[in-house]
Amino acid sequence: MSRPIVEARGLVKFFPMRAGPVTALNDVSLRVEAGDYVAIAGPSGCGKSTLLHLLGCVETPTAGSLYFDGRDVAALPDSERSRLRLLGIGFVFQRFFLLPMLTAWENVELPQAEAGVAARPRRRRTAELLDYVGLSARAQHRPAQLSGGEMQRVAIARALANRPRLLLADEPTGELDAATGEQIADLLDRVNADGNSLVVVTHNAGLAARATRRITMRDGRLAEAATGVIR
Amino acid sequence: MRAFAFAWRSLARQPARTVLALLGIAAVGALLFDMLLLSRGLVVSFSELLEETGFDVRVTATDSMPVTGPMILDAAAAARALEGLPEVEQASPLRVARAEARVEGGEPIELTLMGLGSNSRDLWTVVAGAPLPSETGWVVINDRLARELAVAPGDTLSLWDAGAPGSVATPAIDLRVAGIAEFAFDTRLERTAAVRLSDLSAVCALERAVAADVLLVASAAGSGPEQTVEAIRRLRPDLHAFSNVQLVNRFRAHDFSYFRQISVVLTTVTLSFAFLLITSLLTVSVNQRFAEVAALRAIGFSRARVVADLFCQSVLLVGGGGLVAIPLGAALAVWLDGILKSMAHIPVNLHFFVFQPRALVLHVALLGLVGMLAALYPIYLAARLPIAATLRNEVVS
């Protein structure tokens, strides 16, 4: 059995509130293998995004452990976790979070530049990714000059820039109309088909249905696995 | 993209706000620059005026400031004795008195009359006519007096002792105008004339023709003013010798200390304004960009990189504003200097705002320090930003 890209064991997450701590995740265990396409669904407030944030190493669990490529994330200093996110994880956000002062090209170049990729391979990779998401012609446009679907395509290209081991998408179609959402879902299918591992948090049943593994969450727990076991 | 380029793009994203910020920092920076020029301006200017005379040591009868205390009664003999010192190139007695002058058929005009030893170098710059000859019977006057008396080089004027009210009038003596000159310490309203000491004694009918207010001493080549002062003190312990630097320091400690204190207070206030302005600007910028900063951190930007971005923004704002502040401050200094110098009793050649490289270095250092300190709080906010909570809040909002 190959080593999972990410493995969560008994993850617990409390958020301290004035009225007492709120349990966002309760004893969640999950493995994501290379090539997986995992969709996490569930009602609002069930802990989907919290789980995604923990898998993406932007949040630390109250209890439990998380391993990324076999490394205990909790043992990593902040700078190492940043490096892990930069090189190992690609993030796609509901609200895109492209940098408004940069062009589509520059937004895709940004994580590569941060990772120290030399100019020539960086340009080649950026051109390749913008072509991949069908936005070569819009490379010099700023986010404000792009539609929502185009911005999300740029965000996906940015997430893939450093060839991450895992792509995490938080409601990637949440801000888009149905038709545009379908296009993004198609693109994510292609990303997975090209060998990338994906974890998608979504309310969109159509998007969730495209995943090879569908997980439903309820009250901070994994409720069921629609396809196969919860690995 | 390097931190500076990234910071530049962040600032260029909101050009109006950035321009306003730069102007704000430039205005505060200009005030800071002016306060730094003011803090030492008078001292430097006063020092330059003293140096301009060509004498680097002044000798008086007591430790009071020159021309304000008792006279040196044996000035001529003392000057000769000092000139015997190897450290001294020239020692010249100077006496200042009030006198009146008139041309034939004109009204008498009161003036300040300076009497200098016959071998003395000039204490003024001739702008028309000739220098004051070493023999008696000649006078050099300033432009204001020349205009009011309507005289030119070669004309004759009568001079007599202004005296105290009720004093016995002395006979006037006629002197020929050798030249029109600028006197270093003339005020805007000053009427000044200079003659040889023996002419001044004649004009004022002085009993003690040999007395002087001060002995002006020029150090010999290879001898510094401090050495000369020491040599004079050894030779004439009854007299008080000061180098120009020592004289300036005395002024700085007493007469000019007000300007320094005002400058320190205003500099502190200005720096506080700069600090608050930059902190506010960067904090507002960070607050508006919380989601963006969180997203950058999520995609792998390190805390150090986010800090570097904000630090570079601060450097660009302070650097840009600070650069604009220099010409702005210089123009403001010229304007303020003009206003202050229009006061009646301020020497025309004395400046309140004087440029010195030291002021520029301090300006850059202080603004840089303030920029760094001002960036600390917004940097703290950005560095401590909880990534997931910020992203969650952004989606919820």
Comparing alpha-carbon positions, the chain B residue that sits nearest to A161 is B299
Interval B17-26: pLDDT, tens? 889 989 999 9
**Spatial contact of B302 and B313, defined as CB atoms under 8 Å apart:** no
* Run of H or E including B54: none
Residues B153 and B26 in one domain: no
Residues B391 and B308 in one domain: yes
The domains of chain A are located at 6-225
Residue B245 lies in a domain: no
Find, among A150, A156, A106, A111, the residue nearest to A129 by Cα. Answer: A156
- Per the structure, the complete domain to which residue B309 belongs is given by 3-49+256-396
Contact B300 A50 (CB under 8 A): no
Question: How confident is the model at residue B29, as a pLDDT?
Answer: 92
Confidence of residue A227 (pLDDT cuts 50, 70, 90): very low
Total domain count for chain B?
2
Residues B202 and B168 in one domain: yes
Determine how many CB atoms are found less than 10 A away from the CB of residue B154: 11
Residue B397 contacts by C-beta under 8 Å, 6 or more apart in sequence? Answer: none
Q: What is the mean pLDDT of chain B?
A: 87
Confidence of residue B335 (pLDDT cuts 50, 70, 90): very high
How does DSSP assign B368-386, residue by residue? HHHHHHHHHHHHHHHHT--
Residue B239 lies in a domain: no
Confidence of residue B166 (pLDDT cuts 50, 70, 90): very low
Mean pLDDT, range B333-346, rounded to an integer: 87
Closest CB from B9, B299, B305 relative to A101:
B9
Residues B84 and B131 in one domain: yes
Confidence of residue B122 (pLDDT cuts 50, 70, 90): confident
Q: Which residues in chain B touch residue A50, judged by CB atoms under 8 angstroms apart?
A: 388
Interval A69-87: pLDDT, tens? 999 999 999 999 999 999 9
How far is residue B229 CA from its own chain's centroid?
A: 25
Determine how many CB atoms are found less than 10 A away from the CB of residue A173: 25
Residues B184 and B73 in one domain: yes
Find, among B97, B331, B55, B309, the residue nearest to B212 by Cα. Answer: B97
Sign for the CA dihedral angle at A57, A59, A60, A65 comes to: negative
Question: How confident is the model at residue B209, as a pLDDT?
Answer: 57
Confidence of residue B168 (pLDDT cuts 50, 70, 90): low
Mean pLDDT, range A161-181, rounded to an integer: 92
Residues B101 and B172 in one domain: yes
Q: What is the mean pLDDT of chain A?
A: 91
- At residue A224, the 3 state secondary structure works out as strand
Residue B243 lies in a domain: no
Residues B45 and B61 in one domain: no
Residues B321 and B213 in one domain: no
Residue B27 lies in a domain: yes
Residues B208 and B161 in one domain: yes
What's the CATH code, domain A6-225? 3.40.50.300
Residue B228 lies in a domain: no
Interval A43-61: pLDDT, tens? 888 899 999 999 999 999 9
Contact B391 A114 (CB under 8 A): no
Residues B36 and B85 in one domain: no
Residues B40 and B87 in one domain: no
Q: CA torsion, points B241, B242, B243, B245, in degrees to nearest 10?
A: 170
Residue B311 lies in a domain: yes
**Which amino acid is residue B178, in one-letter code?**
A
Residue B232 lies in a domain: no
Interval A25-36: pLDDT, tens? 999 999 999 999
Residues B213 and B288 in one domain: no
Question: How confident is the model at residue B371, as a pLDDT?
Answer: 87
How many angstroms separate the CA of residue B289 from the nearest CA in chain A? 10
